[in-house]
Amino acid sequence: MPKIFIFILIILQVNNILSNTIKDNIQDLSLDKNNNYNSASKRPNQINISESRIYIGKIFLLLIGSLLTFIVYSAIRNTIIMNKLIKEGFSIIKKNFEFEELDIGNLRRIIVYIFPFFSKVYYIKDLGILPIMTINIGLIQMVTFNINPFEKDLPQMTMDLIYIFGKRTIIFEIYDLMIDKNNKKYKNYLKKLNDIKEKISDFKLYETKKVWYEHYLSANIKKSTTANDDMRILNFFKDVVNAYIEFAKDVPSLNDIEKEKKYFLIKGLSDEFVKQGGVAVNLIKKALGEDKTREILGRIIFGYLNIKDLNLKLYKKMYVQNNSKFMNFEEDKNLIQKEH
């Protein structure tokens, strides 16, 4: 039964209790012919003060109980569909690439104010870093699913799904961190994304304020809908992940110089987010400070710190001074060569 109908039934039941209570109270206050209170009745200042409190207490408990039941029910349902979505994403990647979970230490659980964020980070062999971040606090469930391509010339894919009771918000973004932006395969991939987007064109547009990084976005899908569309959202997610993986399979691995450029493209954007902020970044920075925010973005969201720690061929002596100019590849390359 849809939750709105359950809620209406609860309201009607409460209304029925109130109506009966008022009716009983009026009968208790009936007057005799001499306009005196019926001797069988209690005095007005005695009648129903304690009884009314009991009724009010019962009604209050009923409402609280109903609300808690609704929250628990929504949380369980949302968690199940969220975990199913993550599992489907893993399944698509696992069919095409090998991957392993990386150790991110105490960053697996981050407390931002009172909200716990749980993270896992995976290395996808011959592709890059896959971070998954979730939050589940009863009132809200959220999952962030990113693919950071350090070893192929692909864009960065990010997807946030937010579950609040029966409401759903989708934020899907493709960051144009390509070395060769005129790649024909890349253009075909973007066309495919437009076709996938059409499948949820009837979802309501989720409006947000203009952001500083919009010029990086080659695809930006923001929609809102309800739990009735959970299967359509799941299919949309599977479609965009499938499209990305099919694109990745058709793209050759980068050479060492290209991997340098890719590393600094991704790291550069991460640094810019620390500097200029974003909705989530600002929240983390205010709660935990700039240094911790830089570590969270570098280790989880963008994942470039993991690439360095993996001791891959190119990154064995990657410099760590963090003083490169944003996307200035020649200067970055010279600094690396000096260290070698």
| pLDDT per position as a tens digit, 170-187 | 999 999 999 998 889 999
* Residue 113 DSSP code: T
Average pLDDT score over the chain: 81
pTM confidence score? 0.76
Query: What are the backbone angles phi and psi of residue 309, rounded to the nearest 5°?
Result: -75, -20
The residue length of the chain stands at 340
| Distance set, CA 126 to CA 71, 93, 239, 307 (Å) | 42, 12, 22, 12
Nearest by Cα to 66 from 127, 14, 26:
14
pLDDT band of residue 246 (cuts 50, 70, 90) is very high
Contact, 338 vs 307, CB < 8 A? no
Cα–Cα distance for residue pair 21/36, rounded to 1 Å: 22
pLDDT in tens, 91-111: 999 999 998 999 999 999 999
Better-predicted residue by pLDDT, 251 or 15: 251
The answer to whether residue 315 scores a pLDDT higher than 90 is no
Cα–Cα distance for residue pair 129/161, rounded to 1 Å: 19
Three-state SS at 206: coil
Nearest by Cα to 119 from 76, 157, 86:
86
- Which residues have a Cβ under 8 Å from the Cβ of 265 and sit 6 or more positions away? 177, 179, 327
Amino acid making up residue 232 = R
* Residue 258 DSSP code: H
Burial track 222-253 (b if 16+ CB lie within 10 A, e otherwise) = bbbbebebbeebeebbbbbbbbbbebbeebee
Beta strands in 126-280 (DSSP E): 128-136, 141-149, 156-164, 167-175, 204-205, 217-226
